[in-house]
Chains A and B, each alone.
Chain A
Amino acid sequence: MNKTVNQKAWFLVLPVLILVAFSAVIPLMTVVNYSVQDTFGQNQFFWAGLEWFEEMLDSDRMWAALGRQLMFSGIILAIEVPLGIFVALNMPKSGFWSSFCLVLMSLPLLIPWNVVGTIWQIFGRVDIGLLGYTLDALGISYNYTQDTFAAWATIVVMDVWHWTSLVALLAFAGLKSIPDAYYQAAKIDQANRWAVFRFIELPKMAGVLMIAILLRFMDSFMIYTEPFVVTGGGPGNATTLLSIDLVKMALGQFDLGPAAAFSLMYFLVILLISFVFYTVMTTIDAKEG
């Protein structure tokens, strides 16, 4: 039988809880307040009940944005995670080149989002950007302001460029923590490269990889700045992801009520997915013991 858990230590996080209350909980409560009311500014509110939630659930605009968002997160995870592992496996394990690679890999992570957006916005331009100009010169039609596929390719490649390093660094940390004895045992058993990866490296990396997937999923699901700077949500609505749509609604149209209802549903989805990820992660950890 398991021992009972003593949860009293949680009281030690009370100071943080107070900080979080002011920075997150109370603002979130305000959003709940807005979601059931209508306002035309000047701090005047009118009761609207569940109207906005109903409107949002029926809104094709929101479902379309959610679809695009899931597609975006799915694509970047499918690229970044295997690529990050591949990079980590091929990085020098020690010495000067190892440190060099680590620094080089961290560089994209240090660049602010809007700068990344600007870099790619210029990089992809057909008139002055290196990428756009080169593709155009090769006869490939590429224009991210008019062509949906080009716009998607640009924001996906941009995100891969910006964040694969994070997955690679985490995977590298996981790899470094594997004692040599495992590899020696594998050698004695004459395990091939794939078996070493499948039965030693991958299980040992599982924990950090889950963290990487969780971080990348959350970040990409809430992404705003980069695609906004590059495509502004266009062409048409092709790259209008959830947060871009939300900002358009809340600040562009000043529809605080619907926007609040929208953000609450957005929040619930993120909370649910994070909870599932977290649970899977801790269950895996517990199994590995």
Chain B
Amino acid sequence: MDWMAWTWPTAIFFICIACTLITFTFLAIKFPETPRRGVLGMETTRGDRLFITLLGSAFINLVWLGIVGANQPFALIVCLVYAAAVFRWV
């Protein structure tokens, strides 16, 4: 854990990201899909939607930290809602 100054929270964070990426790679191979056009008017695949979700979640967390400044875990609930919305409508 000393290597690269790892800590458990960051390690768990990256393990989650890695697992998500692996899952989506697996899904992409197992269940090929057609890109679709959502509310943003652009073609997206599952991978694109995952990217939008992750990037958006980072900003949601930052905004929560900047405006609310407490109870950070609740920001994750907002992120989940956002993720569901992205996967449903984008």
Q: Which residues of A contact B (CB under 8 A)?
A: 1-8, 26, 29-30, 32-34, 36-37, 39, 43, 45, 47, 50, 53-54, 57-58, 265, 268, 271-272, 275, 279, 282-283, 286
Given A2-B34, A4-B33, A54-B69, CB of A286 within 8 Å of CB of B51: no
Given A2-B35, A7-B28, A272-B55, CB of A50 within 8 Å of CB of B9: no
With A54-B65, A283-B41, A286-B43 already in contact, 10 other A-B pairs whose C-beta atoms are closer than 8 Å: A4-B32, A7-B32, A7-B45, A26-B4, A30-B5, A32-B10, A33-B10, A43-B2, A45-B5, A268-B59
B residues less than 8 Å from A43 (CB atoms): 2, 5
Given A5-B35, A47-B7, A57-B65, CB of A268 within 8 Å of CB of B58: yes
B20 within 8 A of A: no
Q: Contact mask B39-72 → A, CB, 8 Å, 1/0?
A: 0111101010001100100110010011001001
Q: Which residues of B contact A (CB under 8 A)?
A: 2, 4-7, 9-10, 13-14, 28-29, 32-35, 40-43, 45, 47, 51-52, 55, 58-59, 62, 65-66, 69, 72
> 17 interchain pairs (CB within 8 A)?
A2-B34, A2-B35, A4-B34, A5-B33, A29-B10, A30-B4, A30-B5, A32-B13, A47-B7, A50-B65, A54-B69, A265-B62, A268-B62, A275-B51, A279-B40, A279-B42, A283-B41
- Considering the chains assembled together, what is the distance between the CA atoms of A8 and B62 in angstroms? 35
- Considering the chains assembled together, what is the distance between the CA atoms of A4 and B58 in angstroms? 30
- Considering the chains assembled together, what is the distance between the CA atoms of A7 and B59 in angstroms? 28
Given A4-B32, A7-B28, CB of A29 within 8 Å of CB of B4: yes
Majority secondary structure, A binding face:
helix
CB-nearest residue of chain A relative to B10? A33
Majority secondary structure, B binding face:
helix
B residues less than 8 Å from A286 (CB atoms): 43
- Considering the chains assembled together, what is the distance between the CA atoms of A129 and B60 in angstroms? 49
B residues less than 8 Å from A29 (CB atoms): 4, 10, 14
Given A53-B62, A54-B65, A57-B62, CB of A36 within 8 Å of CB of B33: no
